[in-house]
Structure formats: C-alpha cells, structure tokens
Amino acid sequence: MKFDTSGLESTASVFGTAGRELVDGFAAAAPPAFELPVTKDFDGFQKEAVQMVKPAKGTTTLAFIFKEGVIVAADSRASMGGYISSQSVKKIIEINPYMLGTMAGGAADCQFWHRNLGIKCRLHELANKRRISVTGASKLLANILFSYRGMGLSVGTMIAGWDETGPGLYYVDSEGGRLKGTRFSVGSGSPYAYGVLDSGYRFDMSIEEAAELGRRAIYHATFRDGASGGVASVYYVGANGWTKLSGDDVSELHYKYYPTVPTEASEPDQMVEA
Amino acid sequence: MSKQQARFEPYDFNGGTCVAIAGADYCVVAADTRMSTGYNILTRDYSKIYKLADKCLMASSGFQADVRALQKVLGAKHLIYQHQHNKQMSCPAMARLLSNTLYYKRFFPYYTFNVLVGFDEEGKGCVYTYDAVGSYEKVGYSAQGSGAKLIMPVLDNQLKSPSPLLLPALDAVTPLTEAEAIDVVKDVFASATERDIYTGDKLEIVIVNADGIRREYAELRKD
C-alpha cells in the first residue's frame, strides 16, 4: 500500500496548483502558482496596477554583525503614495526563533515571501532533522525572487540569524541579488542610516552599545526621511536565538538625543505698531 | 496618429468608506451604503459589510465587483475549512486567509480595501487592516476607502493607542465603551460625508459583542 501523504496537503493546492505534479507529496515545495492577466502589455499593466493600487512601502531597516552577534533594527512606517497608511508595521519578521528577516519595499511582497520562507525553513527542518543555515534560507528566498524577476515585485530584505557557523547576514532583493556582508541598510532612509552606522561602527562593541548604534541610526533616518517613522525596534540575534531589545517612539528618541533647553519665560514678541 | 482602439478596462472605482474599531469586549464595523461610478450614484442602498464567520466580519471598499468575488472566494474557503476541521475559522486565521487570498492575485489584484473585525484568541476585539495586495496588520481601529484620509486623523486623535511595537509594551485596546465608539463612528462619517463626494446616503453599523451581532442604521447627507 502506498504511503498516504494526502493529510499533509494544504488546501492551497485546491486552488491554483490543482493538477500539478506533486514533488514527493509536498505541494508547498513548489512555488505558489499565480494567475496572470491576459494582456499583450504585461509590463504596462503592472505599472498601471501598481500606481492604482498603491501598495504600502517606504522604510529604513538595517542590520550588522559584531562581536556578540547580529543587531537588526527598523522603523515602522508604511506609506501609500503620500499617505501614511500605518505607523505600526512590523518590519522585522520572525522567521523562526533564531532567524529574522527585514521588510523594505512592498509590504505585501515582503510579508508573503517571508511567511513562505518560514514554511520552507520548517519543512527543511522536518525533512533533514536539523535547522536550516542562514546561507540556505537566504538562497531559498533569493532563488524564488529571481524566478519572479521583472514582474514588479519590490522586496529589499536582510536575512539575519545564528547558525552552526556563527552569526550570518545576507541581503536579498527582488532583482535576484544576494550579498553576504557584515553591515547593511535598506530602504528610502538607508543613506541617512548608513551615515550614522558607518561612522559609529566597531566590531568589538557590547550588546548595549551596538543596540544604541542601531537605534540612533534608525532615529536619524526617520528624522530626515519622510517615508520613515513610527517606532524604532531593535532586535539582537545571539547563540540562543533572537530577542527584542527595545521599541521606542522616534519622537521621544528625538527629545532624548536633543533635549530642549528650558529658557526663562520671556516677553511675547512685540507686534510692530502700524 | 495611431488608431484609438477600444480596450477592456477590468477595473472600476465604486467609492465608499469603511471604518472599524476594536474594544475590550466588542468590535464595531461601519460602512456607508453609497455605490458610485464616476459622478453617478448607482444605488444608495448597498451593503459593504459581509459576515465571514460566526464572529468575524469584513467591510470592503474599492471596486465592488472584486469585493463580491472576494467575499464568495472567502466564503467558499471557509466552508471547506468547516468541512475539514468541524469548526468555524477563528478571526486571526481568517485574517491570514484573506491576506493570502489577496496576494495570490498579486499580478492582477483585487481592487479592494478591506478591514476585518472579530475576536482574537483571548476574546478581545481586534481589527485587521489590509492594502489591496494583502499586506495586513492587527490594529485597534482603521478606516479604508475614499473617505479614509479624512477619517483616520480624527480616529488617531480620539482613539490613538500606544503602538504594539513599543517595548516595554503598553496596553493597546481602546478604552472607549461600546456606546462611545458608536458615537465616534457616526460623527466621523457625518464629517467625511461633508467633504467626500463618494461617501453618504446611509451608514450601516454592525456591532459584535458577547450577545451576538447587532445592526444599526444612521442617515447621512444624500447630496
């Protein structure tokens, strides 16, 4: 009797992937099938659809490796065109207890593909009886994004984690790029964050110093970039997995870094007599 | 000069606004009942609110044909879930399902702007707000649609709760009572109707609490 794996199939296979060859019975191993619009001008249609739908984007995220592990920090603003659609977006996505992903670019694209990556990482654990490496996880994501290259996905993400080889950090984007590195910042506010991050970085910092550097870099980016703001979250990834170190409203951070000097009560400005 | 050819335009914009507020033991979702196309009003009596599960409702504005298709697809998926699991879908599960359903049409989107309301696993009210391609977030209140830009600042002013991202965490549920929340909703819609041509006619308010689901109507300006 053939081993019955029908209970492992997700209902997603009923819609869209029906009739596809199941690879070892795991329908989720194949990338999801997307129905495409029937049109001669696919790119023009996508451009118009994106302009009409205005998916939420805009951001500052950063991550860097240092002596004790990895620091990951991000703001929490999402903008749809010029409208701030949310000030409380979770841009640091918890893929599993020892790996984090950051969100920059299209919010739905990042959320969906990180969720999908989390599923794949879990399947890898079940199939191989050990955790997936950061190298492997970032490659899985990069290959998927490469296969959708040119179709208008907007994803600029960093995969940060701690595996058998120690701390790992990769930058992956929707053009199909994948870079290993020790220091990255992604998003519309990244130039400002790089300025603070690069000048303050040392490899041997304590966890508190590193977290403060990440927090300050995000704060300065939110100060100068209109598409970044909200709450600056800072996570630390160490040998025991990730922990959230802080979440501070950036307007409160402003007054912490630049406190207003109290002045004596003075005469209100004199109105010029006509 | 090249020949102008008739093209199939798959989308339309029917206007309308939806608002949702979550409380400690209730949630309120409201939408106006005007459906427009261009400068014409197609009907003054169109409900944008749909019941997905026992304690889970969705309100959607944007392109109502896509909204109707989305409601049917979610209803069908929920029915299959009930057959397979012998229970209703919880609100957080339905929220994830809606996100995935929207994203599966990433390259030919549902032109819908949704808010989902219901109760979370602890029995507290929750609101999930979406963009058109499925990015979603659990919030204490939300407005979507043509009047959202007029309404959200007022809700931020009246209901602003601490961000769930703050650490140490502060309690995020709005302290308003059910009656106060309904009053806020009526007030914001009255204001949005004044300045948004696509919002008006009638306001449909649905309140979900421990006693069940209740529906109220309020008149809005019809001009």
Q: What is the pLDDT of residues B132-181, one digit of tens each?
A: 999 999 988 999 999 999 999 999 999 877 788 888 877 666 678 999 99
DSSP string, A7-64: GG--GGGGTTSTTSPPSTT-GGGSPPP------S-HHHHHHHHHHHH---B---EEEE
Cβ distance A246 to B165 less than 8 Å, yes or no, reads no
- Please tell me whether the peptide bond between B153 and the residue prior to it is cis, using omega within 30 degrees of 0: no
Q: State how far the alpha carbon of A150 is from the alpha carbons of A57, A239, B133, B218, in Å.
A: 18, 37, 18, 48
Is the CB of A148 inside 8 Å of chain B's CB atoms?
no
pLDDT in tens, A143-165: 999 999 988 899 999 999 999 99
By Cβ distance, the residue of A32, A112, A231 closest to B163 is: A231
Catalytic residues of A: 59
SS3 A237: strand
B17-220 topology per CATH: Glutamine Phosphoribosylpyrophosphate, subunit 1, domain 1 (3.60.20)
Q: How far apart are CA A214 and CA A244, in angstroms?
A: 13
Nearest CA in chain B to A52: B111
By Cβ distance, the residue of A14, A46, A86 closest to B137 is: A86
By Cβ distance, the residue of B104, B108, B163 closest to A37 is: B108
Q: What does the pLDDT read at residue A14?
A: 39
Cβ distance B104 to A56 less than 8 Å, yes or no, reads no
Profile chain A (274 residues) by mean pLDDT over runs of 10 residues: 60 40 42 75 76 68 96 92 87 91 90 93 95 95 93 92 95 93 93 96 96 96 94 96 94 92 68 62
Is the CB of B33 inside 8 Å of chain A's CB atoms?
no
Nearest CA in chain B to A57: B135
A55-257 topology per CATH: Glutamine Phosphoribosylpyrophosphate, subunit 1, domain 1 (3.60.20)
By Cβ distance, the residue of A108, A246, A247 closest to B131 is: A108
Q: Please tell me the distance in Å from B192's CA to the nearest CA on chain A.
A: 17
Q: What does the pLDDT read at residue B164?
A: 80
For chain B, the distance separating the N- and C-terminal CA atoms, rounded to the nearest angstrom, is 42
Cβ distance A245 to B111 less than 8 Å, yes or no, reads no
| Among the listed residues B177, B70, B160, B171, the one whose alpha carbon sits nearest the alpha carbon of residue B115 | B70
Q: State how far the alpha carbon of A168 is from the alpha carbons of A98, A117, A137, A185, A248, in Å.
A: 11, 16, 11, 15, 26
What is the ipTM for the molecules in this complex? 0.90
| B219 burial level (CB within 10 Å; 0-12, 13-18, 19+) | exposed
Residues in chain B within 8 Å Cβ distance of A151? 107
Q: Which of residues 183-222 of A touch B (CB under 8 A)?
A: none
For chain A, the distance separating the N- and C-terminal CA atoms, rounded to the nearest angstrom, is 101
Q: What does the pLDDT read at residue A27?
A: 41
Q: Which regions of chain B are under pLDDT 70?
A: 1-2, 171-174
Is the CB of A244 inside 8 Å of chain B's CB atoms?
yes
Per-domain boundaries in chain A: 55-257
